[in-house]
Homo-oligomer: A and B are copies of this chain.
Amino acid sequence: MTTASTDETLLRERGLRVTGTRLAVLRALSEHQHATADDVVRAVRADLGSVSVQAVYDCLHALTSSGLLRRMEPAGHPARYERRTGDNHHHVVCRSCGAVADVDCTVGHAPCLTPSASHGFAVDLAEVTFWGLCPDCAEGSAADPVPVSGPGTTF
């Protein structure tokens, strides 16, 4: 999909310098979506040989605030980054292993963007997170009391 030269263009378009680390971070996230900072560090190290943790965090911040990456932080799990941006999609998170998958907006045009009572808040984004068990963890978990994370377990 996103080739190296395109990544370079993307960076320049946003006025960001093109560095090996940044390209490697983008490459890592093309390869595995929803990676944690730690995953990215490992991927970049496998790719470039070595990087400091901070260099990766700096990249992730720069890329996130310029809109090339999106950051999501499921309660109780480290933050995850993804390249799919600007399409207002949502996520399913596994309570047991923290796995994340994309979910397209349930009801065509952003159903939840106009909260009934917004208490005077100037709302600019609606974030929807589905909680459950991924196929792997669901299997045989009815019996096992799997350590559960995330908000209220039932509704």
Q: List residues of chain A with CB under 8 Å of any chain B CB.
A: 65, 67, 70-73, 75-76, 79, 85-86, 88, 90, 92, 94, 101-107, 110-112, 114-135, 138, 150-155
Q: Tell me whether A125 and B70 are in contact (CB under 8 A).
A: no
Give Cα A65 to B148, complex, Å: 10
Q: A112-B128, A152-B85 are in contact. Are A121 and B92 (CB under 8 A)?
A: yes
A-B contact pairs, 26 of them (CB 8 A): A70-B151, A71-B75, A72-B75, A73-B76, A73-B151, A88-B155, A102-B119, A103-B117, A103-B119, A104-B116, A106-B116, A115-B130, A120-B134, A121-B132, A121-B135, A122-B132, A122-B133, A122-B138, A123-B131, A125-B151, A126-B128, A126-B130, A127-B129, A127-B131, A127-B150, A128-B128
A30 to chain B, nearest CB (A): 18
**Which B residues touch A76, using CB under 8 A?**
73
User: Measured between C-beta atoms, what is the minimum distance from A3 to chain B in Å?
Assistant: 24
Contact B123 A132 (CB under 8 A): yes
Instruction: Report how far A102 CA is from B114 CA in the complex, Å.
Output: 14
Q: List, in ascending order, chain B residues with CB within 8 A of A131's CB.
A: 123-127
Q: How far is the CB of A101 from chain B (nearest CB, A)?
A: 4
